[in-house]
Structure 1
Protein backbone atom coordinates (compact mmCIF):
# COMPACT_ATOMS: atom_id res chain seq x y z
CA UNK A 1 0.00 0.00 0.00
CA UNK A 2 1.26 3.44 -0.84
CA UNK A 3 1.88 5.29 2.48
CA UNK A 4 0.31 8.42 1.00
CA UNK A 5 -2.94 6.56 0.31
CA UNK A 6 -5.60 6.60 3.00
CA UNK A 7 -7.40 3.35 3.64
CA UNK A 8 -10.98 4.12 4.55
CA UNK A 9 -13.43 1.62 5.97
CA UNK A 10 -16.38 3.81 4.99
CA UNK A 11 -16.30 6.78 2.61
CA UNK A 12 -15.76 10.11 4.32
CA UNK A 13 -18.90 12.18 3.63
CA UNK A 14 -18.56 15.83 2.67
CA UNK A 15 -19.59 18.18 5.45
CA UNK A 16 -21.98 20.97 4.61
CA UNK A 17 -23.84 23.54 6.65
CA UNK A 18 -22.78 25.80 9.50
CA UNK A 19 -19.20 26.02 10.66
CA UNK A 20 -18.42 23.07 12.91
CA UNK A 21 -17.50 23.33 16.59
CA UNK A 22 -14.04 21.92 17.20
CA UNK A 23 -11.84 20.82 20.08
CA UNK A 24 -8.30 19.47 19.99
CA UNK A 25 -5.77 18.51 22.63
CA UNK A 26 -2.38 16.82 22.66
CA UNK A 27 -1.85 14.32 25.47
CA UNK A 28 0.88 12.06 26.77
CA UNK A 29 0.79 8.45 25.63
CA UNK A 30 -0.05 7.07 29.05
CA UNK A 31 -3.10 5.49 30.63
CA UNK A 32 -3.69 8.83 32.32
CA UNK A 33 -3.59 10.58 28.92
CA UNK A 34 -6.17 8.15 27.51
CA UNK A 35 -8.44 8.67 30.52
CA UNK A 36 -8.09 12.44 30.24
CA UNK A 37 -9.02 12.26 26.53
CA UNK A 38 -12.30 10.55 27.45
CA UNK A 39 -13.08 12.98 30.29
CA UNK A 40 -12.30 16.08 28.20
CA UNK A 41 -14.41 14.75 25.34
CA UNK A 42 -17.49 14.21 27.51
CA UNK A 43 -17.06 17.63 29.13
CA UNK A 44 -16.77 19.34 25.72
CA UNK A 45 -19.79 17.45 24.40
CA UNK A 46 -21.83 18.47 27.44
CA UNK A 47 -20.95 22.10 26.67
CA UNK A 48 -22.20 21.54 23.09
CA UNK A 49 -25.68 20.15 23.86
CA UNK A 50 -24.75 16.47 24.15
CA UNK A 51 -25.65 15.93 27.81
CA UNK A 52 -23.23 14.14 30.08
CA UNK A 53 -24.37 10.55 30.70
CA UNK A 54 -26.72 10.58 27.69
CA UNK A 55 -26.52 7.58 25.38
CA UNK A 56 -24.74 9.68 22.74
CA UNK A 57 -22.19 10.95 25.28
CA UNK A 58 -21.49 7.44 26.59
CA UNK A 59 -21.05 6.09 23.05
CA UNK A 60 -18.72 8.95 22.12
CA UNK A 61 -16.74 8.38 25.33
CA UNK A 62 -16.24 4.71 24.45
CA UNK A 63 -15.07 5.58 20.93
CA UNK A 64 -12.62 8.19 22.25
CA UNK A 65 -11.38 5.78 24.92
CA UNK A 66 -10.75 2.96 22.45
CA UNK A 67 -8.97 5.14 19.89
CA UNK A 68 -6.89 6.82 22.62
CA UNK A 69 -5.97 3.43 24.12
CA UNK A 70 -4.83 2.32 20.68
CA UNK A 71 -2.59 5.40 20.40
CA UNK A 72 -1.16 4.80 23.88
CA UNK A 73 -0.41 1.20 22.99
CA UNK A 74 1.49 2.23 19.87
CA UNK A 75 3.24 5.37 21.17
CA UNK A 76 3.61 4.87 24.91
CA UNK A 77 6.76 2.80 24.66
CA UNK A 78 8.52 5.40 22.52
CA UNK A 79 7.43 8.47 24.50
CA UNK A 80 5.47 10.18 21.74
CA UNK A 81 2.24 12.08 22.42
CA UNK A 82 -1.08 11.63 20.66
CA UNK A 83 -3.67 14.18 19.58
CA UNK A 84 -7.44 13.99 20.00
CA UNK A 85 -9.66 16.15 17.82
CA UNK A 86 -13.44 16.42 18.03
CA UNK A 87 -15.60 18.10 15.43
CA UNK A 88 -19.34 18.60 15.83
CA UNK A 89 -21.02 19.39 12.52
CA UNK A 90 -24.62 20.18 11.72
CA UNK A 91 -25.24 17.95 8.69
CA UNK A 92 -28.98 17.61 8.17
CA UNK A 93 -30.78 15.43 8.92
CA UNK A 94 -28.34 14.66 11.77
CA UNK A 95 -25.60 16.24 13.81
CA UNK A 96 -22.32 14.41 13.28
CA UNK A 97 -19.53 14.00 15.81
CA UNK A 98 -16.16 13.20 14.27
CA UNK A 99 -13.46 11.84 16.56
CA UNK A 100 -9.87 11.78 15.31
CA UNK A 101 -6.90 10.38 17.19
CA UNK A 102 -3.51 11.00 15.63
CA UNK A 103 -0.39 9.20 16.76
CA UNK A 104 3.24 9.30 15.69
CA UNK A 105 3.41 5.74 14.40
CA UNK A 106 2.75 5.86 10.66
CA UNK A 107 5.15 2.92 10.52
CA UNK A 108 2.48 0.82 12.29
CA UNK A 109 -0.59 1.02 10.01
CA UNK A 110 -3.65 -1.10 10.61
CA UNK A 111 -3.33 -4.54 9.08
CA UNK A 112 -5.48 -5.22 6.00
CA UNK A 113 -8.94 -6.38 6.92
CA UNK A 114 -8.88 -4.95 10.47
CA UNK A 115 -10.79 -5.24 12.65
CA UNK A 116 -10.91 -8.97 13.07
CA UNK A 117 -11.94 -10.94 16.14
CA UNK A 118 -8.97 -11.91 18.31
CA UNK A 119 -8.56 -15.42 19.65
CA UNK A 120 -10.73 -16.11 22.70
CA UNK A 121 -7.77 -16.26 25.07
CA UNK A 122 -6.32 -12.91 23.91
CA UNK A 123 -6.53 -10.12 26.49
CA UNK A 124 -6.56 -7.29 23.93
CA UNK A 125 -7.47 -6.62 20.33
CA UNK A 126 -11.15 -5.80 20.63
CA UNK A 127 -11.00 -2.00 20.58
CA UNK A 128 -11.51 -1.53 16.85
CA UNK A 129 -14.34 -4.08 16.92
CA UNK A 130 -16.05 -1.78 19.44
CA UNK A 131 -15.36 1.28 17.31
CA UNK A 132 -16.77 -0.54 14.29
CA UNK A 133 -19.91 -1.55 16.21
CA UNK A 134 -20.52 1.84 17.87
CA UNK A 135 -19.68 4.32 15.11
CA UNK A 136 -21.58 4.95 11.91
CA UNK A 137 -18.39 5.35 9.87
CA UNK A 138 -14.71 4.93 10.69
CA UNK A 139 -11.37 4.56 9.01
CA UNK A 140 -7.73 5.46 9.10
CA UNK A 141 -5.28 7.45 7.06
CA UNK A 142 -1.53 7.91 6.95
CA UNK A 143 -0.92 11.66 7.09
CA UNK A 144 2.81 11.75 6.37
CA UNK A 145 5.90 9.67 7.06
CA UNK A 146 5.42 10.08 10.83
CA UNK A 147 1.73 10.31 11.72
CA UNK A 148 -1.45 8.34 11.14
CA UNK A 149 -5.01 9.11 12.18
CA UNK A 150 -7.83 6.82 13.19
CA UNK A 151 -11.21 8.51 12.86
CA UNK A 152 -14.79 7.62 13.66
CA UNK A 153 -18.09 9.40 13.08
CA UNK A 154 -21.23 9.18 15.14
CA UNK A 155 -24.59 10.53 13.98
CA UNK A 156 -26.15 12.25 16.98
CA UNK A 157 -29.85 12.73 17.64
CA UNK A 158 -31.24 16.24 17.23
Structure 2
Protein backbone atom coordinates (compact mmCIF):
# COMPACT_ATOMS: atom_id res chain seq x y z
CA UNK A 1 0.00 0.00 0.00
CA UNK A 2 1.32 3.40 -0.96
CA UNK A 3 -1.07 5.97 0.52
CA UNK A 4 -1.22 9.34 -1.20
CA UNK A 5 -1.66 12.11 1.34
CA UNK A 6 -3.06 15.59 0.66
CA UNK A 7 -3.22 18.24 3.43
CA UNK A 8 -4.52 21.72 2.61
CA UNK A 9 -5.78 24.81 4.35
CA UNK A 10 -7.56 27.21 2.00
CA UNK A 11 -9.78 30.18 2.84
CA UNK A 12 -10.68 28.97 6.31
CA UNK A 13 -11.33 25.39 5.22
CA UNK A 14 -8.99 22.62 6.31
CA UNK A 15 -8.70 19.53 4.15
CA UNK A 16 -7.20 16.08 4.60
CA UNK A 17 -7.30 13.43 1.89
CA UNK A 18 -5.67 10.03 1.55
CA UNK A 19 -5.94 7.07 -0.76
CA UNK A 20 -6.04 3.70 1.03
CA UNK A 21 -6.15 0.07 0.00
CA UNK A 22 -9.65 -1.38 -0.24
CA UNK A 23 -8.98 -3.91 2.52
CA UNK A 24 -10.10 -4.32 6.12
CA UNK A 25 -6.71 -2.94 7.11
CA UNK A 26 -7.28 0.14 4.93
CA UNK A 27 -10.70 0.69 6.52
CA UNK A 28 -9.24 0.43 10.02
CA UNK A 29 -6.44 2.83 9.08
CA UNK A 30 -9.03 5.31 7.77
CA UNK A 31 -10.69 5.45 11.18
CA UNK A 32 -7.38 5.83 13.02
CA UNK A 33 -6.22 8.59 10.68
CA UNK A 34 -9.49 10.49 11.15
CA UNK A 35 -9.16 10.32 14.92
CA UNK A 36 -5.59 11.64 14.69
CA UNK A 37 -6.36 14.37 12.16
CA UNK A 38 -9.38 15.68 14.05
CA UNK A 39 -7.35 15.65 17.26
CA UNK A 40 -4.72 17.77 15.50
CA UNK A 41 -7.46 20.17 14.38
CA UNK A 42 -8.96 20.27 17.90
CA UNK A 43 -12.28 18.76 16.80
CA UNK A 44 -14.11 15.99 18.71
CA UNK A 45 -13.77 12.76 16.74
CA UNK A 46 -16.24 10.31 18.29
CA UNK A 47 -19.08 10.70 15.80
CA UNK A 48 -16.80 11.31 12.84
CA UNK A 49 -14.83 8.15 13.63
CA UNK A 50 -18.05 6.13 13.69
CA UNK A 51 -19.16 7.58 10.35
CA UNK A 52 -15.77 6.93 8.75
CA UNK A 53 -15.70 3.37 10.11
CA UNK A 54 -19.05 2.66 8.46
CA UNK A 55 -18.32 4.39 5.15
CA UNK A 56 -14.84 2.87 4.83
CA UNK A 57 -16.20 -0.57 5.71
CA UNK A 58 -18.87 -0.19 3.03
CA UNK A 59 -16.23 0.89 0.50
CA UNK A 60 -14.22 -2.25 1.28
CA UNK A 61 -17.15 -4.69 1.41
CA UNK A 62 -19.41 -3.35 -1.33
CA UNK A 63 -17.37 -0.87 -3.37
CA UNK A 64 -14.21 -2.88 -3.86
CA UNK A 65 -12.75 -3.58 -7.27
CA UNK A 66 -9.55 -5.68 -7.22
CA UNK A 67 -6.52 -3.46 -7.62
CA UNK A 68 -8.43 -0.23 -6.93
CA UNK A 69 -8.16 1.83 -3.74
CA UNK A 70 -10.68 4.02 -1.94
CA UNK A 71 -10.19 7.67 -1.07
CA UNK A 72 -11.01 9.35 2.23
CA UNK A 73 -11.42 13.13 2.32
CA UNK A 74 -12.17 15.38 5.31
CA UNK A 75 -13.09 19.04 4.98
CA UNK A 76 -13.47 21.23 8.04
CA UNK A 77 -15.22 24.49 7.18
CA UNK A 78 -14.68 27.71 9.09
CA UNK A 79 -18.12 27.31 10.73
CA UNK A 80 -17.06 23.94 12.21
CA UNK A 81 -18.98 21.74 9.78
CA UNK A 82 -17.06 18.56 9.00
CA UNK A 83 -17.63 16.91 5.62
CA UNK A 84 -16.51 13.30 5.29
CA UNK A 85 -16.24 11.75 1.83
CA UNK A 86 -15.36 8.17 0.91
CA UNK A 87 -14.92 7.48 -2.80
CA UNK A 88 -14.84 3.89 -4.05
CA UNK A 89 -14.57 2.19 -7.43
CA UNK A 90 -18.13 0.82 -7.72
CA UNK A 91 -20.49 3.48 -8.99
CA UNK A 92 -23.08 0.79 -9.76
CA UNK A 93 -23.72 -0.07 -6.10
CA UNK A 94 -25.57 2.77 -4.38
CA UNK A 95 -25.91 2.45 -0.59
CA UNK A 96 -29.33 2.68 1.02
CA UNK A 97 -30.64 2.39 4.54
CA UNK A 98 -32.18 -1.06 4.94
CA UNK A 99 -35.89 -1.61 4.80
CA UNK A 100 -37.33 -3.66 7.70
CA UNK A 101 -36.64 -7.37 7.21
CA UNK A 102 -33.86 -6.83 4.66
CA UNK A 103 -30.30 -7.90 5.39
CA UNK A 104 -27.63 -5.21 5.18
CA UNK A 105 -27.83 -1.43 5.18
CA UNK A 106 -28.28 -1.08 8.93
CA UNK A 107 -24.84 0.46 9.33
CA UNK A 108 -26.04 3.50 7.44
CA UNK A 109 -28.38 4.14 10.37
CA UNK A 110 -25.19 5.03 12.28
CA UNK A 111 -24.28 7.52 9.57
CA UNK A 112 -27.79 8.98 9.62
CA UNK A 113 -27.72 9.27 13.42
CA UNK A 114 -24.49 11.27 13.52
CA UNK A 115 -24.80 13.25 10.30
CA UNK A 116 -26.88 16.34 9.72
CA UNK A 117 -26.93 15.40 6.04
CA UNK A 118 -25.55 12.53 3.99
CA UNK A 119 -25.81 11.33 0.44
CA UNK A 120 -24.19 9.75 -2.61
CA UNK A 121 -22.64 11.51 -5.60
CA UNK A 122 -21.93 9.63 -8.83
CA UNK A 123 -18.75 9.79 -10.87
CA UNK A 124 -16.50 10.25 -12.40
CA UNK A 125 -17.32 6.82 -13.80
CA UNK A 126 -16.97 4.21 -12.47
CA UNK A 127 -16.65 5.83 -9.01
CA UNK A 128 -19.12 7.07 -6.43
CA UNK A 129 -18.64 9.20 -3.35
CA UNK A 130 -20.65 8.66 -0.17
CA UNK A 131 -20.52 11.75 2.02
CA UNK A 132 -21.76 12.93 5.40
CA UNK A 133 -21.75 16.34 7.04
CA UNK A 134 -21.54 16.80 10.80
CA UNK A 135 -21.99 20.23 12.35
CA UNK A 136 -21.14 21.25 15.87
CA UNK A 137 -24.74 22.32 16.48
CA UNK A 138 -26.77 19.73 14.55
CA UNK A 139 -27.49 16.02 14.95
CA UNK A 140 -23.89 15.28 15.93
CA UNK A 141 -24.11 17.69 18.88
CA UNK A 142 -27.44 16.16 19.98
CA UNK A 143 -25.96 12.65 19.96
CA UNK A 144 -22.97 13.82 21.99
CA UNK A 145 -25.23 15.55 24.55
CA UNK A 146 -27.42 12.46 24.87
CA UNK A 147 -24.38 10.23 25.37
CA UNK A 148 -22.98 12.60 28.01
CA UNK A 149 -26.32 12.65 29.86
CA UNK A 150 -26.50 8.84 29.76
CA UNK A 151 -22.97 8.50 31.16
CA UNK A 152 -23.77 10.98 33.94
CA UNK A 153 -26.60 8.76 35.27
Give yes or no for TM over 0.5.
yes
For structure 2, list consecutive stretches of 5 or more residues without a partner in the other structure: 1-9, 138-153
Q: Distance in 1 between matches of 2:100 and 2:19?
A: 30
Deviation at 1:68, TM superposition (A): 0.3
* Relative contact order higher in (CA < 8 Å, ≥ 6 apart): 1
Aligned to 1:107: 92
- Deviations 1:121-157 (CA, angstroms, capped at 9, x unpaired): x4x4311111011111100110222110000000126
Aligned to 2:140: none
Deviation at 1:74, TM superposition (A): 2.0
Aligned to 1:129: 109
Deviation at 1:109, TM superposition (A): 2.2
Identify, as 1 or 2, the structure richer in helix.
2
Deviation at 1:81, TM superposition (A): 0.8
Aligned to 2:12: 19
Aligned to 2:48: 60
Q: Distance in 2 between matches of 1:134 and 1:59?
A: 6
SS class of match (1:26)? strand
TM-score normalised by L of structure 2? 0.76
- Deviations 1:52-110 (CA, angstroms, capped at 9, x unpaired): xxxx411110000000001001244633210000000112xxx1000000001012223
Q: How does 1:7-156 map to 2 (within 5 A)?
A: 18-50=11-43, 56-76=44-64, 78-91=66-79, 95-110=80-95, 114-117=96-99, 119=101, 122=103, 124-156=104-136
Aligned to 2:144: none
Higher mean displacement: 72-81 or 41-50: 72-81
For structure 1, list consecutive stretches of 5 or more residues without a partner in the other structure: 1-16, 51-55
RMSD of aligned alpha carbons: 2.1
